[in-house]
A and B are shown apart, each in its own frame.
Chain A
Amino acid sequence: MSTDIKKPRLRRGLVAATLVAAALATAGCAGVEPWERDLHARADMQADAHDAAIDDHIYFSKEASSGGRGFAGGGCGCN
């Protein structure tokens, strides 16, 4: 009986996609001057870690995926 565990598909594809996305992000961004970053300092432009952690935990318990932008946090017996 052969072990039927599939190797991660599209592994190279996924890494390549991230690198392309990152390169597109950084290209053509010669620089936004510090005094032009006033809007970025606004509270609503910061990521809300507290709510994101709560949501992450809920969806980790109810779906097969987890994390993405950060670590999922801790394990639990809920999945």
Chain B
Amino acid sequence: MQLKKKPIGATLAAATCSLLGSLPAAPAAAQEAKDWSIDTSLLYYGEDNGRVEDVSLMATIRRIFDEDRSLNATLTVDSLTGATPNGAVPANVPQTFTGPSGGGGYTVEPGEQPLDTTFLDTRTALSLSWQQAAGNATRWSVGFSGSDEYDYLHLGVDARLERDFNMRNTTAFVGLAYGQDDIKPVGGTPIGLSPMAGEVEDEDGDDDGDDRGRESEDSKDVADVLIGVTQVLSRRSLLEVAYSYGQSDGYLTDPYKILSVVDPVTGVPAASTEEGIPYLYLYEKRPDSRTKQSLFAEWRYALDRDSFALNFRFMDDDWGVQSQTAEARYRWNINDRSYLEPHLRWYTQSAADFYRTVLFAGDALPEFASADYRLADLDAYTIGAKYGLHTDHGEFSVRLEYYQQSPTESPGSAVGDLANLDLTPDMKAVIVQFGYQFDF
């Protein structure tokens, strides 16, 4: 037989033009619809100065039944280690704190930011959602989410409805979510604004604090509603706008966080009223309800080869926190197979009304107080980039981001000794993520 045959495609194409009396037709674009789509990632998050480190593995599995129905499952496992600020401020003397279980005390050197080193946990989370089309322009989904860690259990349900209008140029959506969380802190839930006691023996060995007169567990529930619209503005751009309203009720306090009490003139830690612990620290207390609203908008624009997106979110709540977030992403499609996407994020928030970096001895006890830096006035920015590479079977990606956060102490906190200490140090973190996405 013949050895090397010339491809016949060109001959066939020319003959077809003659047969049909028409110009060459556009190339065919046909691809196999895949039933399964898997997206996995391995994430490392690490803060500086021995603070929090997190390694997490996440997998999203999507099973497509037909063009109208699909099932999504996401499984996440993350492991937290390192230390987190416990809310107390540094001092010119060594400070000793009692661990959450009533034992396991730890000491912090003068000038050092107090970090709770007992903070380590593994969390497993699962969420499932079913998506279905109803009629030509409507889609709905229902979902379940749950997560479990040593001291925290979350269960939630959510639903979403979308409808297209205007030849699918406009899509309106509405969503509802409800969750109930059970908190079972190590050592039970401390009474808000009560002093931290010295180390005690855990008498019944179950670590739940009831032998110290504490509640062993508490709960909160969270309800959210979301409403928005996505609008195609032109051949190249679209705009998404969403408003959400959320209400949380129940135990919203962080059971492990405390506030330092210091002398209002010298800034020296006040003496403790409890035995076995030198200085006075009070457990924080937050209100038992929180109402949040946010407004989000994203504009996406397609260039001939690349694209970019800008988004903005404004958040306001009844704790006095107001925040603004702005993000920009630019997708540089280097070629058919790879891309690079630099990313910038800027964030600023105003402090909660009850945020206090320190409390002063002799002042009246406030109704609520927290020194958690995450409720302070703070600015943060993120800079990073993602690189993606398509192979025959899927897409690899690597993401590298740098996050820096600068909280500001509450006015008037830096009295006496405290003026020479950094009460709210900056936090710097690195995020590295490896991902692999494939369909089959």
Q: Which residues of A contact B (CB under 8 A)?
A: 1, 3-11, 14-15, 17-18, 21-22, 25-26, 29, 31-34, 36-40, 42, 44-45, 47, 49-51, 53-54, 58-59, 62-79
Q: How many A-B residue pairs have CB under 8 A?
A: 211
Q: Give chain B's interface residue range (CB within 8 Å of chain A).
A: 35 or more
Q: Is the pair A62, B229 in contact by a Cβ cutoff of 8 Å?
A: no
Q: Is the pair B127, A34 in contact by a Cβ cutoff of 8 Å?
A: no
Q: Given A65-B315, A75-B222, are A25 and B121 also a contact pair (CB < 8 Å)?
A: no
B156 interfacial by beta-carbon distance below 8 Å = yes
Q: Is the pair B147, A6 in contact by a Cβ cutoff of 8 Å?
A: no
B391 interfacial by beta-carbon distance below 8 Å = no
Residues of A within 8 A of B254 (CB): 79
Nearest 5 pairs between A and B by C-beta?
Answer: A77-B152, A68-B296, A18-B243, A39-B302, A25-B231
Q: Is the pair A65, B320 in contact by a Cβ cutoff of 8 Å?
A: no
Residues of A within 8 A of B232 (CB): 29, 32, 37, 40
Q: From DSSP, what is the main secondary structure of chain A's interface residues?
A: loop
Question: Interface 1/0s, chain B 266-293, versus A by CB < 8 A?
Answer: 0000000000000000000001010111
Of the candidates A15, A44, A63, the one whose C-beta lies within 8 Å of that of B333 is A44
CA distance A77 to B182 in the complex (A): 10
B125 interfacial by beta-carbon distance below 8 Å = yes
| B125 shortest CB reach to chain A, Å | 6
Q: Show 27 residue pairs from A and B whose CB-CB distance is below 8 angstroms, ordered by the A residue.
A: A4-B367, A5-B318, A7-B318, A8-B291, A9-B318, A25-B239, A26-B170, A26-B231, A32-B167, A44-B306, A45-B300, A50-B60, A51-B435, A54-B41, A62-B405, A64-B349, A68-B244, A68-B294, A69-B240, A70-B175, A71-B224, A71-B226, A74-B179, A75-B181, A75-B222, A76-B149, A76-B152
Q: Is the pair B374, A77 in contact by a Cβ cutoff of 8 Å?
A: no
| A3 shortest CB reach to chain B, Å | 7
CA distance A44 to B338 in the complex (A): 11
